[in-house]
Structure formats: C-alpha cells, structure tokens
Structure 1
Amino acid sequence: MTAEIRHIVYDIGQVLVHYDPLIPFKRIIPDEEKRNRFFAEVCTNAWNHEQDRGRPWTEAEAEAIARHPEEADNIRAFRANWEEMIPYCYDDSVALFRKLAASKHDVTLLTNFAPDTFTICRARYPFLEEGRGITVSGEIGMVKPDRDIFERHAETFGLTPEATLFIDDKAENIEGAKTAGWHGIRFIDAAQLERDLAKYGITV
C-alpha cells in the first residue's frame, strides 16, 4: 500500500469490546423461537440504531410498546439489562490498540452508541480513554455508515481524510468511511488486523 497513514480510527463494539444482546435474553426469553421473533420484530437492529442516533430510551420503549404492547416487560428489559451485553473485551485486540495509542501513532475512536450506555461502557473499560478522543454517535445525532459522521470526526480531531485509516467489523461502515475519503480495514481478529496494518507500514 502506498498511502501514508497518520491517523488510525477505531470502532469499539466487536472490535475492542464484545457486544451480544442475546446474553441476558437467553434468560429473559428462554424459548429460542420467541426470542428470535422478539429481535426480528420488536427490538430490532433498526430500532436500536435510533438509540445510537440519540433517541432517548423512554421514547424508544414507548415506540416499541405501542407496536407490541404484549412485549412491554421484555422491551423495558433491553435497557434494564444492557450492561450484561458487554461482558468482556478482546484482550489481544485491546493490547494492540494500547500499543498503537502509546506510540507515535495518532489514535482516536468512532462508535455507534447511545450516550447513556456508552457512559457504562466507558467506565467499565477505561482503556478506551487511551486514544486521543472519542466520537459517540448518540451525542452528535449522526450514525455510521453515514458520511457525515466521518466528516464530523475528521473535523473534530483535525484528521486528513486521505491519511486516515478506519478499523470496523462491519463492511458497510468501512464503505461509509471510504465515501469520506478514508482508508478502511474490516476487523476479523487481532492477528489479522496486525497483518493488515503492516500492509500500510504500521507496526508496533
């Protein structure tokens, strides 16, 4: 790769911190078929995405309960049991992140997160503070993969787009970063990430 990378931007969920809403819901809704229907029709990815955009949980719960009043308790259980959904971080990935953040590399983070749940995540995983700063989608009303959040992050932290490399587990978010002129690496695991970084001349 010929690009000179001066800025590395990390996603958080499924790159540094494990996220799985099924963890509490295997207990809350033991029946697998009912649980699958709940996530397919009630608390869907699209529904949760609006909290990442900044919609308050009270509004989110009210909207879902209006659609599925019979699921009111389970809908409220999503936020009430949210902390169980981030049970651990990926140690090898975090070790690489910390090495990069402690070196000459300019490292920031860009994440889709509701503001209040990110406060929980931030307190639980203090290594997140080791980058130069964090853009949280719900705090600014923008979400990945939309181009505007990448442009806002670059403006906030003074990043040169063509010298910026984004690491995310979702292909659509990598494509969103590219529309803003960034480079991107699809995260698979820490070992693969280290190999991919080396292609850009980035080593620790």
Structure 2
Amino acid sequence: MAIKNIIFDFGGVVMDWNPRYFFKDHFKDDEKMEHFLKNIATDEWNAEQDRGRTLAEGTEIQVAKHPEWEKEIRAYYDNWTTMLKSEIPHNVAVLRKLEHSKYHLFGLTNWSAETFPYALENYDFFKIFQNKIVVSGTEKLIKPDPTIWEVLLERYKIKAEESVFIDDNAKNIELAKSLGFICIHIKNDTDLEKELRDLGVAF
C-alpha cells in the first residue's frame, strides 16, 4: 500500500531536549546530577506532566516526597527552556524537504501542554505541520498507550498502513508496529532521509 502520511515524534527526533543541559552547570558534579535525575526528577515523574498533570502539581508532589531536594526540583521547570537546547538540524532539514511534497505531515508527541507552546513559538519548522499535531498533555494520553495513536488516526481520518511513524523510543516503535504503522526508529547514527527513501518516499 502506498505511503500517504509521515508522522514525527518531536523530542529526540527534531528537538534536542535534555535536563542535563541545565543541571550540568547547576550541580557542577556529574555524579550528583545523575543521582538526582535517576532518583528524584525521574523520567517517570516528568512523563506524568507530559500525560497532563500540571507542572505546579508535579513539582509539589515531588517536593513533598524529597524536601531535601526542593531547590533542585523547583529549578526543573523554572529552567525548562534551557533544557530545550536546539532543533536537530539534519532531521529538521528532512522535514523541510517534505513540506511541499505529496505527503501529509503530522506530529505525535509526548509533551506537556504547558511547555509545548514555547517550542511552537520559538521554532518555525512546527508551522510545517499546519497544527496537525497530537500532544499528549492536551489529550491526557501518553505514548506508548495505543489510544493516543487512535486519536491521531481518527482525528485526521488516516490509516496506519499508509503512514510512516518516526520516533526515537523503542517502546513507541514497537507499539506503533503492532498497530500497523511503517516505522523508523531514530538512533544517533540514523540517516532519516535515506531511511525514508528506502521505504519509497519521494522528495
């Protein structure tokens, strides 16, 4: 079946986000920083904000659990924009090449509804999606819950088997494959344009 749609995850695909970009200078101690990110401000905790919990609520919950880390926990979302370092140029270049192609472009991202507007305002390539973006924090659903892919499919009346899904998270790729999507798993050395061309995508 011919490919009609190309769906981008954002973090790790077109945006370089990492809390270490802020906390490296904050701690000036890599061991302490890694302890904090592994045990206090964990990926699982941040994911709940991506699922729709407010930043304020998430912060207070964690401060109550770890009062000795209050300063660092409060610094997390206060300095979130520093963690959003830049776009990922080679993948954004591919997105720009696709802008005037025959394919329909979509975004499917795990991102807090409170912080995503900053990215929209500060990185012009998001306009390429023409607002066809499903944001986990807005939907109160998060990958790899299959329901969030179903939201995308139903909202835009598209079919999984006609769609390429691009993500850097192996669990998300695995789930998308099970739903019938054609998938590209982004790794550090992935040549996204080559991967798409190998699938028959024409630029």
**5 Å matches for 1:101-120?**
101-120=99-118
1:155-203 CA distances to partner (integer Å, 9 max, x unpaired)?
Answer: 1111111111100111111112123221111013686211211122102
Match of 1:20 among 15, 18, 24: 18
Secondary structure of 1:66's aligned partner: helix
Partner of 1:158: 157
How far, CA to CA, are the matches of 1:17 and 1:70 in structure 2? 32
How far, CA to CA, are the matches of 1:191 and 1:40 in structure 2? 27
Partner of 2:173: 174
Partner of 2:93: 95
How far, CA to CA, are the matches of 2:187 and 2:69 in structure 1? 35
Secondary structure of 2:85's aligned partner: coil
- RMSD (Å) for aligned C-alpha atoms: 1.4
Q: How many residues align?
A: 202
1:111-147 CA distances to partner (integer Å, 9 max, x unpaired)?
Answer: 0000111011111112112124111100000111111
Secondary structure of 2:183's aligned partner: strand
**5 Å matches for 1:119-134?**
119-132=117-130, 133-134=132-133
**5 Å matches for 1:20-59?**
20-59=18-57
How far, CA to CA, are the matches of 1:160 and 1:192 in structure 2? 25
Which segments of structure 1 move beyond 6 Å, counting only runs of 4 or more? none
How far, CA to CA, are the matches of 2:167 and 2:78 in structure 1? 27
How far, CA to CA, are the matches of 1:191 and 1:35 in structure 2? 28
Deviation, 1:93, is: 1.2
Deviation, 1:85, is: 0.9
TM-score, normalized by length of structure 1?
0.94
Unaligned runs of 5+ in 1: none
Unaligned runs of 5+ in 2: none
